[in-house]
Structure 1
Amino acid sequence: MAIFKRLVAVLALAALGGCATLSEPDQQVVLVQTIQDNREVAGIGCVLTNDAGRWFVTTPGRVSVRKSAGKLWVDCKRSGAGVGQDVVDSRANAGALMGNVVLTAGLGYLVDKRTGAGFEYPDTLTVLMRRPGGYVEDPVDEVASNALY
């Protein structure tokens, strides 16, 4: 009976080895930068939101967010500089995904999806800023409109 209990314990540990919830951190540091008129704009306040929380950063800057299988919403704004928004999908960590398939027959993937540990966002998030009033400067449109007058 003792051998059976040890065997079950070893198999359980091996099965959980592919689970990123146990082996991966649930936080990720991302760099947020803002661009306007093909130039980086500093000092823009951004709020990052997903189903696990909300974080604030001033660009360019790094912020630690909680991982999630859901989307990460980025809303940036500064008076006079305009607004910018972006939505970033998370993606499954390839190593954790393979471990889950091989060792847990997919059960670990379901656990990781719930906790977000097996998922990642891009390391750098670039948000395009729009001028106040929704105007986005497009050099092609500007040249075309000047040609008409």
Structure 2
Amino acid sequence: MRYFIYALPFVLAACATSGPGGGNVAIETTAGGQPLPGANCVVTTNAGRWNVITPASAPVGSANGDLRVLCNKAGYRASEVVYRPSTPTNSNVGIGIGGGSGHVGVGLGFGIPIGLGGGNYPSTITVEMNPQ
């Protein structure tokens, strides 16, 4: 039982490694602030390439390099957006003192982002298209 308690933080941390949206990014296109469906978009990361027609969702998975979205539609200029994954910035350090049964213990804990260098992509990307 004692060893299970030691392993519990690692088990819980492993469950928290997937990003928001389960690795899917919604792709939308607009023109003049209004929805513009039917644009052909190519979504690329270091992990792969996906062709979608807006509005759509691309299964990009975990953050892996820059996320590029290039969209084309007849009568509009090609538009591209590039997103760098947001990096976790919240690290925590905690110090505690505890005692019981005549023993006193001192502990030091750190909160470390699991995906070192990783991060997340936005859950929705809107590409603004301009008429030709």
* TM-score w.r.t. length of structure 2: 0.65
Give me the whole-angstrom Cα distance separating, in 1, the residues matched to 2:11 and 2:63: 19
Which residue identity lines up with residue 43 of structure 1 in the other structure?
A: G
Give me the whole-angstrom Cα distance separating, in 1, the residues matched to 2:48 and 2:33: 31
Specify which structure has the higher proportion of strand: 2
Give me the whole-angstrom Cα distance separating, in 1, the residues matched to 2:10 and 2:74: 52
1:138 matched residue in structure 2: none
1:48 matched residue in structure 2: 43
Shift in Å, 1:81: 2.4
Q: 1:97-138 CA deviation, whole Å, 9 max, x = no partner?
A: 65x8776663xx3x5136x4xx22111111111334xxxxxx
Specify which structure has the higher proportion of helix: 1
Number of equivalenced pairs: 116
Give me the whole-angstrom Cα distance separating, in 2, the residues matched to 1:13 and 1:57: 41
Pairing partner for 2:61 from 42, 52, 66? 66
2:127 matched residue in structure 1: 127
CA 1:82–1:92 in 2, change beyond 3 Å: closer, same or farther? Answer: same
Which residue identity lines up with residue 51 of structure 1 in the other structure?
A: N
* TM-score w.r.t. length of structure 1: 0.59
- Structure 1: unaligned runs, 5 residues or longer: 133-149
CA 1:101–1:62 in 2, change beyond 3 Å: closer, same or farther? Answer: farther
Give me the whole-angstrom Cα distance separating, in 1, the residues matched to 2:68 and 2:39: 16
Note the 1:35-114 alignment, pairs <5 A.
Answer: 35-92=30-87, 98=91, 106=112, 109=113, 112-113=115-116
Shift in Å, 1:59: 0.9
Give me the whole-angstrom Cα distance separating, in 2, the residues matched to 1:18 and 1:78: 43
Pairing partner for 2:29 from 34, 50, 55? 34
Q: 1:31-59 CA deviation, whole Å, 9 max, x = no partner?
A: 21111233221100111111111122211
Check whether the contact 1:44–1:76 (CA below 8 A) recurs between aligned residues: yes
Shift in Å, 1:30: 1.9
- Structure 2: unaligned runs, 5 residues or longer: 95-108
Give me the whole-angstrom Cα distance separating, in 2, the residues matched to 1:123 and 1:62: 10
